Amino acid sequence: MANNFSRTGERPRDKKKAFIRLLRYMTDFKGPLLLAVVLTLLSNAFSLVGPKLSGQALDYMTGAGGVDLNGVARCCLWMALFYALSSGLSYILAVLMVRISRRVTLKMRRDLFERLSDMPIRYVDTHPIGDILSRVFYDTDTINTSLSSDVVSIMTSAITLVGSLVMMLTISPPLVLVFAFTIPLSVFLTAFITRHTQPLFRKRSAKMGELNDFTEEMITGVRTLKAYHREQATLERLDGINEEVVQAYYRSEYYSSMMGPSVTFVNNLTMALISIFGALRFMSGAMSLGDISAFVQYSRKFSGPINEIANIYGDLQSALAAADRVFALLEEPLEAPDAPDAPALTNVRGDVKMEDVSFGYEEGKQILRELSFHAVPGAMIAIVGPTGGGKTTLINLLMRFYDIGSGTFTVDGLPGDGVQRESLRAAWSMVLQDTWLFSGTIYDNIAYARPDATREEVEAAAKAAHIHRYIMSLPQGYDTVISDDGANISKGQKQLLTIARAMLANAPMLILDEATSNVDTRTEVRIQKAMRHLMKDKTCFVVAHRLSTIREADMILVIRDGRIVERGTHRELMDKKGFYREMYEAQYAS
């Protein structure tokens, strides 16, 4: 199958929509979130009382009746108590938000993995794996960091903003008019910088996905890289991609960092105006020195949230860009659902038939053309042909990883695209050329096909696949732990383990897509004989390049340029002296 990787840029999306969806994730934890809001309110309420008490203490010290030490001490004690309570509640709030963000991230990653599991194979075939992994891990980590700190800052800032305004109004409403000039100026600067930096953060996340994809490709192919002495060329390519990532980070951080200084300038301007007009009101007797002191402190608290939001603006934009990419993945279409009346395949005999089937991965580009064959139950069907002819594409259609474009495809007389997809795939066991093993014991890897299988059944499958003797030679036998993807065993042994897994599944039909390409010829012949014994009365499709191993097939389909150009047994095709014989003689000319 051709890989049609799409590396086109993502379309701009609505960050408000991403923010709303992020809030919905948080509202799934209503109890802890409500507690966080209450803690935020109480913490800020206690903190807002402090400046008022500070102003009263100053008035007690500068009053006409002289210094009132009792009043000053009383105000100081209350201030210490309120600030201590505020700090304690802030600590509890921080711990609570870390737990909420962790649970949100856990749910988000689970939803992403569940979504990927239900997506059509086409999505994975057409998107870089590194970019997908970047969304599942890097982007969710970015969201987690923002939720655990920035959300608290936003809630605190909002409450402080409102509370400070109310307190300033109780002290001197005329002096509050200063903010009628400075707040619009702050809003204008914030909106201007936001409009220019949002695309930069979206580009930054996309570039990080490209870097992850390249790194994953190079690590996976490190042996080939070294064998062809491409270390230096790879480093040069990495430098180019890494430079793009660095530039994307620099541009986004550079322009977003303008927010803090801009808002700080407005805040300093606000303080200057308050000092000037406050001094005038003090000299006119409209305000006491304590009121001016309290008003200045509240004005700093009022300006602080604006400055705080400006400082965390970069993190917020990065989190929204990450959330945008995560939700874009969560919005990708799933596999088309089965029809409500779609029957399930039961008691499968393995009668597989295709008539005039045509298919292409892209519109207007046909891979298979008018393909027809009939596999009777229990038959071994070999599929051969040059690379890129359509062999693996045919397997994808049999497994219904893709639906046929035109023609008919039936299993036991039922339309393959009309039965329940899950029941169709359950009728097949599949062994691919690219083996897949997970980190765990050899026993667990074989039993993956049937978790309820007994030890004897697992060992019987291993014996049939000619891997039992090797397993028993290991120190822990079937309990030997293999590393991720079986990196600590040979490719041939990995292949035999996946074949044992498929045998254990005992499905009525089997697909071997170059499944024995990594084992030696003698072992392959023994496996084929064991397969023939195990696949009695079952249908088996074998994609093979070694033509000598499929000479016992009941029917050989020769696919070339998406068409079946020849069909028959090995002897029949050799007698025809056609394309199959040319391939066979070219392969074994020596």
Q: Write out pLDDT tens, residues 375-415.
A: 998 888 999 988 888 888 898 899 888 888 899 999 999 99
Query: For the ranges 24-33, 65-74, 241-250, 473-482, which has the lowest average pLDDT?
Result: 65-74
What does the pLDDT read at residue 352? Answer: 93
Residue 392, SS3 per DSSP:
helix
| Measured CA angle at 283 (ends 280, 288), to 5 deg | 100
What does the pLDDT read at residue 64? Answer: 56
Q: Taking residues 447-452, report their average pLDDT.
A: 86
pLDDT tens-digit readout, 141-159:
888 887 777 777 777 777 8
Query: For the ranges 4-8, 43-47, 482-486, 545-549, which has the lowest average pLDDT?
Result: 4-8
Higher pLDDT, 215 or 520: 215
Q: CA 515 to CA 229: how far, in whole Å?
A: 30
Q: Taking residues 435-463, report their average pLDDT.
A: 87
Residue 463, SS3 per DSSP:
helix
Say how far residue 53 (Cα) sits from the centre of its chain: 51
Phi, psi of 529 (to 5 degrees): -65, -40
What does the pLDDT read at residue 195? Answer: 72
Q: Taking residues 177-184, report their average pLDDT.
A: 79
DSSP state of 435: -
Residue 16's Cβ-count burial label (10 Å; 0-12, 13-18, 19+) is: exposed
Q: Taking residues 463-478, report their average pLDDT.
A: 88
| Range with top average pLDDT, 51-60, 118-127, 399-408 | 399-408
Return the percentage of the chain with pLDDT > 90, whole number: 12
Q: Which CATH superfamily is domain 20-28+97-330 in?
A: ABC transporter type 1, transmembrane domain (1.20.1560.10)
pLDDT tens-digit readout, 23-38:
788 778 888 888 988 8
What does the pLDDT read at residue 225? Answer: 77
**Does 8 have pLDDT greater than 60?**
no
The fold for domain 352-427+507-587 equals: Rossmann fold (3.40.50)
- The residues, ordered by sequence, that sit 6+ positions from 113 with a Cβ below 8 Å of its Cβ are 136
**Banded pLDDT at 2 (limits 50, 70, 90):** very low
Q: Taking residues 342-366, report their average pLDDT.
A: 89
Q: Taking residues 183-194, report their average pLDDT.
A: 76
| Range with top average pLDDT, 44-48, 257-261, 401-405 | 401-405
Return the percentage of the chain with pLDDT > 70, whole number: 89
What does the pLDDT read at residue 85? Answer: 92
Give the residue from 565, 564, 566, 535 showing the smallest Cα distance to 552: 535
Query: For the ranges 73-82, 507-516, 529-538, 569-578, which has the lowest average pLDDT?
Result: 529-538
Q: Taking residues 125-151, report their average pLDDT.
A: 81
**Does 245 have pLDDT greater than 60?**
yes
Q: Taking residues 555-573, report their average pLDDT.
A: 92
Q: Taking residues 239-266, report their average pLDDT.
A: 79
Q: Taking residues 116-127, report their average pLDDT.
A: 84
pTM over 0.85? The answer is no
What does the pLDDT read at residue 6? Answer: 37
Every domain of the chain and the residues it spans = 20-28+97-330, 352-427+507-587, 440-501
pLDDT tens-digit readout, 86-114:
899 989 988 888 888 888 888 888 899 88
- Is residue 205 within 8 A of residue 212, CB to CB? The reply is no
pLDDT tens-digit readout, 299-350:
877 776 766 666 676 677 778 888 888 888 888 888 888 888 888 888 888 8
**Does 210 have pLDDT greater than 60?**
yes
What does the pLDDT read at residue 312? Answer: 72
Higher pLDDT, 397 or 138: 397
DSSP state of 451: T
Q: Taking residues 254-267, report their average pLDDT.
A: 75
Q: Taking residues 264-278, report their average pLDDT.
A: 80
**Banded pLDDT at 485 (limits 50, 70, 90):** low
Residue 553, SS3 per DSSP:
coil
**Does 125 have pLDDT greater than 90?**
no
Q: Taking residues 567-577, report their average pLDDT.
A: 92
pLDDT tens-digit readout, 492-518:
788 888 888 888 888 889 888 876 666
Residue 567's Cβ-count burial label (10 Å; 0-12, 13-18, 19+) is: middle
What does the pLDDT read at residue 569? Answer: 92
H/E run at residue 185: helix 179-220
Residues in the chain: 590
Q: In b/e form, how buried is each residue of 506-532, taking b as 16+ CB within 10 angstroms?
A: ebbbbbbbbbbbbbeeebbbebbebbe
Given strand 563-568, what is the order of strands in its sheet?
428-432, 509-513, 539-543, 380-384, 555-560, 563-568
Mean pLDDT of the chain: 81
Residue 229's Cβ-count burial label (10 Å; 0-12, 13-18, 19+) is: exposed
Higher pLDDT, 518 or 183: 183
Residue whose token pair is 């014991």:
441
**Does 9 have pLDDT greater than 70?**
no
**Does 529 have pLDDT greater than 70?**
no
What does the pLDDT read at residue 4? Answer: 39
